[in-house]
Amino acid sequence: MYYFKQNGIESRYVSGSFNNQTHGWLEADGLFIDITADQFEDIDEVILIIGDYSWHSSLRDLAIEILVLMSSTNMLKSVLFKLYNEILERIKF
């Protein structure tokens, strides 16, 4: 979300559950960005960046949460920035 915020793109963190397993992803500019979808056996891709909502809509108890990075603890910020940089390394624009 930090990257999107820095570039003026509105985004949100969304979570849901399926078979007693919680799952979260980002939604931004009509896309679903999911870096952990491969934990589910019906997903082969390591990272999903898609415009099709059908798979994510199957998650029960859908709850939209706004993740406010600036209000996070310093330790959490450190972890999130590390992950953010790893994601940027994988995304080649």
- pLDDT for the residue numbered 58: 75
* pLDDT, position 63: 54
Domain spans of the chain?
Answer: 2-90
**Which DSSP string corresponds to 18-81?**
ETTEEEEEEEETTEEEESSGGGSTT---SSEEES--TTGGGSEEEEEE---GGGS-HHHHHHHH
Instruction: Look at residue 77 in the predicted model and tell me its pLDDT.
Output: 67
Please give the pLDDT value at position 70: 43
pLDDT at 1: 72
Low-confidence ranges of the chain (pLDDT < 50): 66-72
pLDDT of residue 62: 57
Q: What is the pLDDT of residue 9?
A: 83
- The pTM (predicted TM-score) of the whole model is 0.60
